[in-house]
Amino acid sequence: MSTISREEVARLAGLARIDLTETELTRLAGELDVIVESVARVQEVATADVPATSHPIPMTNVFRADVVEAPLSVAQALSGAPEAQDGRFAVPQILGEDA
């Protein structure tokens, strides 16, 4: 028993402003019908005693705990910089403007 007709697909395509050929309408009606039947089968199995799940396996957080720590000092932050000037990172000028 088909639940999605060509006319319904054509109406939806028109609402979405999608231009479909006659062949596409027929093909999509069949494909959408398979999808609707599949969802109906899943709804038959998903009874009240089956718990809802978002993932098939348990998910765990792999990140470390967010713990407040002392920040780096200026000297520590600049220790790996190729060049520093007045307590800041020194980078090449790129805009050609006078500093």
How confident is the model over 68-94, as pLDDT tens digits? Answer: 999 999 999 999 999 999 999 999 888
pTM above 0.95, yes or no: no
pLDDT above 80: residue 50: no
Please answer whether residues 93 and 99 qualify as being in contact, where contact means their C-beta atoms are separated by less than 8 angstroms.
Answer: yes
Give every CB contact of residue 43 below 8 A, 6+ residues apart in sequence: none
Q: Which one has a higher pLDDT value, 82 or 44? A: 82
Domains of the chain: 6-45 (1.10.20)
Quote the strand ranges of 1-99, DSSP E: 84-85, 88-89
Rounded to whole angstroms, how far apart are CA atoms 4 and 26? 10
CA-nearest of 4, 1, 13, 9 to 33 is 4
